[in-house]
Amino acid sequence: MTPIEFIPSSDFAIGVDIGGTKINAGIIDRNGQILLQHHLPTLAQQGEVLNQVKTLISKLLSEYHYSFDGTSLKGIGIGSAGQIDWNKGSIRYANSLIPGYTGTKLKDELEHEFTASVIVDNDVNCLALTEKYLGAAQNKRNVICLTLGTGVGGAILIDGKIIHGAWGGAAEIGHMTVDFNGVPCHCGSIGCLEQYASGTGIAWRMQELLMKQGIGTTQIEAKKIIADWIKGDPTAALVMNQAIAALGSAIASLVHIFNPEAIIIGGGVAEAGAPLIDGIKAEMKKRAMSSLVEGVDIFAAYKGNLGGMIGAALQLWEYEEMGTRVNLQSADKI
């Protein structure tokens, strides 16, 4: 059996989304359709992230042969949690959610292992690519994406392009200050959006409130708080109204800075659906200048959790130049 070749003209690529709890990997075509997919828990504490990614890719490669008679792939696209050095394709910084992950040279390691061109970016930037080609950002040039999960992530699309900043660290929207007298954040700042609007932040705020009310401090998940809020629980409403105010205020600032056409919100917290989206919309409109906010709509992210994996693969076509910069051994042989 001839090995699968990595060639620039292929219409298929591997996409891997590395999150704090789960790694999703799949073979995706250039239209964003998923041919094959596999998932593994991240095993963050065991420092196994890189090996797990390699395992998933190997599995996909062998199944691609057998199930689809696949012979070529364009490359490997990775979307990862943490701050990514975009040119080097390495993890510049990852917090304690994935211990020991900082410094991992994903691009170098995977290029060496699979003799493939590899592009690595932040997971939310990958999600934004999926939105650009398949989701609510289609036919739009200026869009802001937020993901409300364990943390709050961001991506900013300006003139049709994702902005990366000096080395890839741009759009840390979760660490915009929304209350300069607010609660301390693990990043060193105070009153960051993430402290109020991430799943973790929502749970902390609820615990704080219950302690003040003298009602125990047992662990509560954001999912339950959101469900209680939708059912009309007044304490859950206090926490969620604070999250909505924090999001509305951050988004109003972003609207003033970037003049976007749309805002897209994804992540576990966004599964709250219409009550959350409508709440944020109202709060944004209240806080932003009407000339700028007029016509700006807020949408839920495309395909929920798989958007990151799809976008990771789409990088191979979005950044053709970056992908072909690698001097592939397979190409050398031709």
Interface contacts to Zn ion, rule CB under 5 A: 175, 185, 187, 189, 192
Do the beta carbons of residue 173 and residue 250 sit within 8 Å?
yes
- Cα 116 to Cα 110: distance, rounded to the nearest angstrom: 8
Give the nearest distance from C-beta 187 to Zn ion in angstroms. 3
Q: What percent of the residues of the chain are helix, what percent strand, and what percent coil, each to the nearest 5?
A: 45, 20, 35
Q: Which is nearer to Zn ion, 188 or 214 (CB)?
A: 188
Give the nearest distance from C-beta 186 to Zn ion in angstroms. 6
Q: Which is nearer to Zn ion, 158 or 185 (CB)?
A: 185
Residue count of the chain, please give it.
Answer: 334
Cα angle value 251/257/262 (rounded, 5°): 50
Give the nearest distance from C-beta 93 to Zn ion in angstroms. 13
Q: Which is nearer to Zn ion, 189 or 235 (CB)?
A: 189
Q: Which is nearer to Zn ion, 48 or 179 (CB)?
A: 179
Q: Which is nearer to Zn ion, 179 or 221 (CB)?
A: 179
Edge-to-edge strand ranges of the sheet holding 22-29:
34-41, 22-29, 12-18, 76-80, 118-122
Give the nearest distance from C-beta 294 to Zn ion in angstroms. 31
Rounded to the nearest 10 degrees, the angle between the axes of helix 199-212 and helix 222-231 is 70
- Cα 280 to Cα 255: distance, rounded to the nearest angstrom: 13
* Tokens describing residue 120: 């690595």
Give the nearest distance from C-beta 8 to Zn ion in angstroms. 40
